[in-house]
């Protein structure tokens, strides 16, 4: 109800402004073109100040309301640098935005048309143009350099002791594969992909490394241990979004991409930090990929090494599942029929 009233008030304000404008138009007919134009400029100048104040207040209010939506800081070691980069970028661009907008709206009010005031034609100033070109260029170059530093860090080779998780996008869910005890993922062939035969990522069963690889609907990670994500797609372009870890990476068909992070907190830790007993880390698709894009989400569980080992020990390898589904179960009554046949033969 309060939302409806807010919209109604905004509509009424615009109606009042429209009526004032129409009244000014009628007055212009009576007073003459020049006086009408000056009166219109006065009204527009006043409205410029009103919109400036409301706009700055709205920006501040939105920032205050939404600033905690991503939780209490980055949940990965690498994400800390991303948070710092975002904060510095927002500080610089926010300062420039406020200054330029205040000057823009204030100048429209201050230097409106008045009797005896003439506009000054200012066609060219090389010094001024160099200043407003060089300074932003230097600032943006520095920001880009720091951004590339973080990018190269998360896409470089992961530490040798990093665990490996393969994430494959598919309309409209995620396929997650883990290496078994050998610590290595087996090879894949896209022609072998078959949901019917329990081979959703196309594992090559002739490759011995595939015999102990297992798949899961959830992503389980170990706190404090680096993890390398090998990312791909089965159909269209998806995007692995890890908002709490401040990471994202495209999932492109036929072109594997990688990134690595080190989780800082367990899921239990984050529930205490956020005071939300239902908190979960999530993997979302950050690339519009079709009608079911909104539902493309997976839960990430960050836990201790002991908890992860206990969970992994319960998982069945995809090879076992595929071969179990490939061997048809005997039809009901088949055993009894066979027994009767043997008895008749005797």
Q: pLDDT, tens digit, for every residue of 299-314?
A: 999 999 999 999 999 9
Q: Which residues contact 264 (CB under 8 A, 6 or more apart)?
A: 74, 75, 76, 77, 223, 224
Distance CA 93, CA 218 (A): 38
Distance CA 322, CA 200 (A): 10
First to last CA, the chain: 85
Average pLDDT over residues 64-76: 79
Average pLDDT over residues 103-116: 83
CB atoms within 10 A of CB 110: 11
What residue has token string 């389980």?
220
Q: For residue 336, what pLDDT is reported?
A: 44
SS3 277: coil
Distance CA 231, CA 250 (A): 8
Q: Provide CATH code, domain 163-326.
A: 2.60.40.420
Distance CA 312, CA 303 (A): 12
This prediction has a pTM of 0.74
Structure tokens at 316: 């069945």
Distance CA 319, CA 210 (A): 7
SS3 170: strand
Q: For residue 260, what pLDDT is reported?
A: 95
Q: For residue 26, what pLDDT is reported?
A: 66
CB atoms within 10 A of CB 256: 13
Structure tokens at 214: 């297992």
Q: What is the DSSP letter of 126?
A: H
List, in sequence order, the alpha helices (H) in the chain: 2-31, 33-66, 77-110, 126-155, 267-274, 305-313, 318-326, 334-345
What pairs with residue 166 in β-bridges? Answer: 177, 230
Whether the per-residue pLDDT at 7 is higher than 80: the answer is: no
Average pLDDT over residues 231-249: 94
Average pLDDT over residues 187-203: 91
Range with lowest mean pLDDT among 44-53, 160-169, 316-325, 328-337: 328-337
């Amino acid at each position: 109800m309060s939302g409806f009233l807010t919209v109604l008030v905004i509509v009424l304000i615009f109606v009042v402004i429209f009526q004032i404008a129409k009244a000014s138009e009628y007055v212009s007919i009576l007073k003459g073109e020049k006086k009408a134009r000056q009166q219109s400029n006065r009204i527009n100048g006043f409205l410029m100040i009103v919109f400036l104040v409301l706009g700055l207040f709205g920006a501040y209010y939105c920032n205050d309301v939404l600033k905690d939506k991503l939780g209490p800081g980055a949940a990965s070691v690498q994400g800390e640098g991303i948070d710092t980069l975002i904060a510095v970028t927002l500080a610089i661009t926010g300062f420039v935005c406020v200054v330029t907008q205040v000057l823009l709206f204030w100048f429209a009010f201050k230097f409106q048309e008045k009797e005896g005031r003439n506009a000054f034609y200012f066609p060219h100033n090389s010094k001024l143009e160099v200043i407003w070109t060089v300074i932003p260029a230097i600032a943006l170059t520095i920001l880009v350099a720091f951004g590339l530093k973080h990018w190269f860090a998360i896409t470089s080779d992961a530490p040798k002791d990093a665990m490996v998780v393969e994430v494959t996008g598919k309309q409209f869910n995620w396929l997650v594969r883990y290496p078994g005890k050998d610590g290595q993922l087996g090879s894949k062939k896209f022609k072998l992909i078959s949901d019917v035969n329990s081979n959703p990522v196309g594992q090559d069963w002739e490759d011995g490394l595939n015999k102990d690889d297992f798949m899961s609907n959830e992503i389980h990670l170990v706190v404090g241990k680096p993890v390398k994500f090998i990312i791909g797609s089965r159909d269209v372009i998806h995007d692995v979004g890890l908002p709490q870890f401040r990471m994202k990476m495209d999932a492109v068909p036929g072109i594997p991409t990688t990134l690595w992070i080190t989780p800082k907190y367990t899921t239990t830790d984050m529930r205490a930090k956020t005071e939300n007993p239902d908190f979960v880390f999530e993997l979302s698709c950050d690339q519009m990929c079709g009608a079911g894009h909104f539902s493309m989400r997976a839960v990430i569980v960050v836990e201790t090494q002991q908890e992860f080992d206990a969970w992994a020990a319960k998982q069945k390898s995809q090879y076992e599942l595929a071969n179990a589904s490939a061997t048809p179960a005997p039809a009901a009554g088949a055993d009894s029929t066979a027994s009767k046949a043997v008895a008749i033969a005797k």
